Chain A
Amino acid sequence: DAKTTQPPSMDCAEGRAANLPCNHSTISGNEYVYWYRQIHSQGPQYIIHGLKNNETNEMASLIITEDRKSSTLILPHATLRDTAVYYCIVRVATGGKLIFGQGTELSVKP
């Protein structure tokens, strides 16, 4: 599974969009990009995943560059409850294990 690089920390103002970047320059054609987050003292929570196309669900949007070497998770209107560590993970569609890196610690401030 390809390795990912994320900034260790980011701040965002409450109500603004939070844009979390992830580099995965060695991603293979059959690997998906997944995003999870972990709020303090809780288990990781699945957010969204994608292969090539941009994806949107009730939690977030995922923008993947055309060359698939990087992606951005967008929380459109961040709230204080979005303060968490966000993990970007790439893995193959079947059989691939989730390998968590250090993630980005997002602090949403009033």
Chain B
Amino acid sequence: DAGITQSPRYKITETGRQVTLMCHQTWSHSYMFWYRQDLGHGLRLIYYSAAADITDKGEVPDGYVVSRSKTENFPLTLESATRSQTSVYFCASSESQGAGQPQHFGDGTRLSIL
């Protein structure tokens, strides 16, 4: 089915481990985004990408790494997970950043770091 999919939906890991969250979209959208959502903070932008091989920091990038070798994929890596990174992570995509181009979100990955 077309759309934006995130995997895994749920993940439990330990502090210090590396973990990668996957995001795949089938629309060939240029822009892709990673957000985290925590109680009391709403959604906060971690990183975004305007095209393959172009990425930029958002509001809360520390502790995260992204790459975009292909237009359709935008993985997010926690190189050494910490408890403060326990959160729900959402990936989104949009055709452009222009008016009338909404962001479409995946259903999220619930990440727990013990």
A interface residues with partner B (beta carbon < 8 Å): 32, 34, 36, 41-46, 49, 51, 87, 93-103
From known contacts A43-B108, A46-B104, infer whether A93 and B98 are also in contact, taking CB-CB under 8 Å.
Answer: yes
Q: How far does the alpha carbon of A45 sit from the alpha carbon of B35 in the complex, in Å?
A: 14
Q: Give the contacts of B90-113 with A (CB-CB under 8 A).
A: 90, 92, 97-100, 102-108
For window 32-70 of B, CB contacts with A under 8 Å fall at 35, 42-45, 48, 58
**Closest beta carbon of chain B to A56's beta carbon, Å:** 15
A27 to chain B, nearest CB (A): 14
B interface vs A, CB < 8 Å? 35, 42-45, 48, 58, 90, 92, 97-100, 102-108
Distance in angstroms between the alpha carbons of A100 and B59 in the assembled complex: 12
- List chain B residues, Cβ under 8 A from A36: 102
What is the minimal beta-carbon distance from B104 to any residue of chain A, in angstroms? 7
**Docked-complex contact B100 and A46, CB < 8 angstroms:** no
Known contacts being A43-B107, A95-B97, is A49 close to B42, with CB within 8 Å? no
Q: What are 28 of the A-B contact pairs (CB < 8 Å)?
A: A32-B99, A34-B102, A41-B107, A42-B107, A42-B108, A43-B105, A43-B106, A43-B108, A44-B92, A44-B103, A45-B105, A46-B104, A49-B102, A87-B42, A94-B97, A94-B99, A95-B97, A96-B97, A97-B48, A97-B58, A98-B43, A98-B103, A99-B45, A100-B42, A100-B44, A101-B42, A102-B42, A103-B42
Interfacial chain B residues near A42, Cβ < 8 Å: 107-108
Closest 9 pairs (CB-CB, A-B): A43-B105, A46-B102, A93-B99, A100-B43, A100-B42, A44-B105, A43-B90, A95-B97, A43-B107
CA distance A99 to B99 in the complex (A): 15
